[in-house]
Chains A and B, each alone.
Chain A
């Protein structure tokens, strides 16, 4: 009887610890996600410009690798997240927000006109930019 109680108690503690771990697990960046897509930023922008619903069906919530020219000066939010926009061929582009770790590592590494290869998770098209979140910089 005592043994059963101890077993139950151990299970409860382990369950609690696991629950606590799950609850506090930080949001993952794109690096660990597999991807089927590697596209030029201009091509991705055009796909969204032509038919946003179709592009959403293909890309929304998926990890994408995007290659393109940095079109705007990098910006940093108050919380320290760095963003760069890759050329979309028109007014908008592919707006990439880096993960906190990637932001810290590459805050001074970007210049307008440079080529960049970014992997991020697509959150859709806000009528100006295609947005990628939790991005990492690929070599």
Chain B
């Protein structure tokens, strides 16, 4: 009986532990920037969902392509219809792992430089990528930041011949997500 009780308490405690180790973000920010002679193109998505498991270093991101906001209506239309084909492929995801998790102390405030490796899916094409990033810990809450370049051709996104030389072949992706412990 005592053994059973111990087992129950132990498994309960472990569950709670695992629960507390997952932090979530529902208003994560991802921006997309293309610097080109023809036009600077910039879009922002403030509704990126992400989870971070502070025990295992597992990261996941999911974002709605149609939630990227552009200043000009025409830019938003081109981004969705000509490049991302967001009616066919409405989501982009990343699933990966902090490869040097031991560098991060989630119970101590600070900025930690890490490396994140995982599968990035854009336009229904998945590539394994490794990007440098920062984990900023403040009052037990994590913030994740990274900037990296993506070659649009890698993800099967075609630039129309007419504007081929005027549009950047690489776009800059900036990620900034603030996490809260999962309730």
Contacts and interface: CB of A to CB of B under 8 A. Distances in A.
B72 A129 contact: no
Interface string B37-50: 00000001011110
A22 interface: yes
Interface stretch (B58-66, B98-106, B112-120, B146-154): B58-66
B26 A128 contact: yes
B26 to A, nearest CB: 5
A97 B48 CA distance: 12
Contact of A26 (B29, B71, B91): B71
14 contacts: A25-B73, A26-B73, A27-B72, A27-B73, A77-B46, A83-B27, A83-B46, A91-B183, A95-B27, A97-B46, A97-B69, A126-B64, A127-B62, A128-B26
B46 A126 contact: no
Given A27-B69, A61-B66, A128-B26, A123 B74 contact: no
Contact of B49 (A23, A61, A127): A127
Contact of B70 (A27, A92, A127): A27
Contact of A23 (B74, B87, B183): B74
Nearest to A72: B26
B46 A123 contact: no
Given A123-B90, A126-B63, A128-B24, A27 B47 contact: no
Contacts of A75: 27
Interface of A: 22-28, 56, 60-61, 75, 77, 79, 81, 83, 85, 91-92, 95, 97, 121, 123-129, 131, 133-134
B76 interface: yes
Contacts of B47: 83, 95, 97, 123, 126, 129, 131, 133
A60 B90 contact: yes
A27 B71 contact: yes
A25 B66 contact: no
Contact of B72 (A26, A95, A97): A26
Given A25-B73, A28-B73, A129-B49, A123 B27 contact: no
B67 interface: yes
A84 B127 CA distance: 34
A121 B80 CA distance: 14
Contact of A129 (B26, B71, B87, B91): B26
A87 B73 CA distance: 30
Nearest to B70: A27
B44 A79 contact: yes
B173 to A, nearest CB: 17
A91 B70 CA distance: 29
A92 B49 CA distance: 10
